[in-house]
Structure 1
Amino acid sequence: MSPFTLRRPTGPAVPLVCDSPHSGTWYPDDYRPAVPLPQLRGGEDTHVDALWGAVPAVGGTLLAAHFPRTYIDPNRSEDDLDPGLLDAPWPTPLAPGEKTRLGFGLVWRNIRAGVPIYDRKLSVAEVQARIERCWRPYHQALAGCIEQARRDSGAVWHLNLHSMPNDAYQRLQIDSPRPLADFVLGDRDGRTCEPAFVDLVERELRGFGYSVARNDPYKGVQLIERIGQPQLRRHSLQVEIRRPLYMDEATREPNEGFAPLQADLTRLLHTLAGYVRAQLAP
């Protein structure tokens, strides 16, 4: 199976590139986890690519992973790997981040705190094979879309699309006085995206009746930091959706909120495409 689906614009093209790195539901045969599939599926951003399915119709590009993030996470950099997960030293220097310490790095160690995915160490060769089979093709496809949009239009706006569990604060071991917002917009504290675009997304979502937070508890990670260079007219924003808005977290099935949310996101996409066109107008 291909590691991703890439959907090109079906309407007049705009430099709006969207990617859903965690909506994959294909579990490769060489995974060999020690926890049952229903538990593993808790790591999926199930149906996120479908929620944003109108991207091509408004002129944007939509990339969606087929493989699960617990197998290998395209939202992490290649060196964000837990050396304790391996049965031998990695051949190049590693730079594991804070979430990797919790078990959620390039290759997840835990499905949640205290629940390991494996009953074994992973070989260097099998992790390298996951990188070559899934991670690298996904990144090459995304980089190609970003560069083509920037080359054709002189600018690009990127949305990195996710969903978040209702107990996100607990999973991240954060003691928050606030309830989890319906949407969390992450721009690395203002570093990866122009403020006007973030303001527009927040204003539209609030207008639909959703609660919105910025960078709390998700700021975005290496992927948007690499793409988002506003000084070069490369804008990148992570969008997290609270899962109970559209699905049952236990069964992973869409709930009665799916269709209304999908309709709201379609309206948002039309607005964003219009904004992008206006920014490019002479």
Structure 2
Amino acid sequence: MKPTFSLIKGSVPLLISMPHNGQEIPAEIKNNMTPKALKVEDTDWYKDKLYDFANAMGAYIIVPTYSRYVIDLNRDPKGIDLYPGANSTELCPTTAFDLSPLYQEGMAPTEKEIKYRIETYWQPYHQALGNTLDEIKAQFGQAVLLEAHSILSTVPRFFDGQLPDFNFGTAQGESCASALLAQVESLDYSPYSQVTNGRFKGGYITRAFGQPEQNIHALQLELSQRTYLNEQTFEYAPELAEQVKPKLKQLVATLIEFAQQTK
């Protein structure tokens, strides 16, 4: 089997995680899925391309190989709902964002299969996250984790109307220092809209690894795909991406500066 993730080492105390960037599905799982599922339409498309400047700035970057349809790396392995009362997808999703089935009838993953996927895909990614953050903290005194996500601007299953462009989540302020969030919120995102702890408050990774009292700070950015993507075809739109990239670059620079200067 291919490696389940790739980790690019950096030289500054920032780790960027892209847990929904993977697109591959193992053959044995493909055989049980619907044709529509194999298009992996709910991917956080092109996050690695959108942040292609980050490693040159010194950031560590971790990206999975496999699709969130195999297992969602940003969900609690015990199946605990991140947003009680809201419609959400499972650890091993059985429906797409549009509620269409991902598996052929009777082929959804069993408890045994889910356990296997946790051990095979989920645990290695999270072990690497933890080890890398510990390594960064040991070298620099603290670490910052940026959870880099994106989503269609309109997904009725999860939110009404059109999503703001930059959606930051800090588990209601618990996953990073207030000083870091203040710096992030003070940046100029115009002409894009920005909100903090709105519909998206940070997923499992942000909540599990963000421990500001231990000098490990985490925040999630859910970027509206309309800022860099043709949302009808899922094609990368260079003319749009080149406009939003400077905003992402200033965000990454701010996170690095905070991590290097504040302990």
TM-score normalised by structure 2 residue count? 0.89
- Please give the secondary structure, in 2, of the residue aligned with 1:239: strand
Partner residue, 2:224: 242
Structure 1 position 145 matched with structure 2 position 144: no
Partner residue, 1:136: 123
Contact 1:157–1:236 (Cα < 8 Å) also in 2: yes
Deviations 1:74-114 (A, max 9, x none): 1012111xxxxxxxxxxxxxx45557984512111210354
Partner residue, 1:48: 47
Partner residue, 2:69: 70
Deviation at 1:260, TM superposition (A): 2.6
Contact 2:142–2:259 (Cα < 8 Å) also in 1: no
1:8 maps to a residue whose letter is: K
CA distance in 2, matches of 1:262, 1:112: 26
Contact 2:144–2:255 (Cα < 8 Å) also in 1: no
1:53 maps to a residue whose letter is: D
Once the two structures are aligned, what percentage of the paired residues are identical?
A: 27
Deviation at 1:267, TM superposition (A): 3.5
- Please give the secondary structure, in 2, of the residue aligned with 1:138: helix
CA distance in 1, matches of 2:16, 2:133: 10
The worse-fitting range, judged by mean Cα deviation, of 234-243 and 118-127 is 118-127
- Count matched residues: 257
CA distance in 2, matches of 1:27, 1:124: 19
RMSD over aligned Cα atoms: 2.2
Aligned runs of 1:47-196 on 2, under 5 Å?
Answer: 47-80=46-79, 95-98=80-83, 102=87, 104-118=89-103, 119-120=105-106, 121-168=108-155, 170-172=156-158, 174-175=159-160, 179-196=162-179
Contact 2:82–2:203 (Cα < 8 Å) also in 1: no
Aligned runs of 1:189-204 on 2, under 5 Å?
Answer: 189-204=172-187
Deviation at 1:251, TM superposition (A): 2.3
Partner residue, 1:257: 240
Q: Among 188, 212, 228, which residue is 1:230 paired with?
A: 212
CA distance in 2, matches of 1:191, 1:103: 22
Contact 2:72–2:92 (Cα < 8 Å) also in 1: yes
Contact 2:19–2:74 (Cα < 8 Å) also in 1: yes
The 1:98–1:180 alpha-carbon spacing in structure 2 relative to 1, beyond 3 Å, is closer
Contact 1:99–1:105 (Cα < 8 Å) also in 2: no
TM-score normalised by structure 1 residue count? 0.83
CA distance in 2, matches of 1:205, 1:110: 37
Contact 1:24–1:44 (Cα < 8 Å) also in 2: yes
- Please give the secondary structure, in 2, of the residue aligned with 1:140: helix
Structure 1 position 212 matched with structure 2 position 194: yes
CA distance in 2, matches of 1:60, 1:137: 20
CA distance in 1, matches of 2:19, 2:201: 16
Structure 2 gap ranges (5+): none
Structure 1 position 17 matched with structure 2 position 4: no
Deviations 1:4-56 (A, max 9, x none): 111111xxx22111100001111211222124246x42210011122122222
1:30 maps to a residue whose letter is: E
Deviations 1:180-201 (A, max 9, x none): 2110000011111112212222
1:57 maps to a residue whose letter is: A
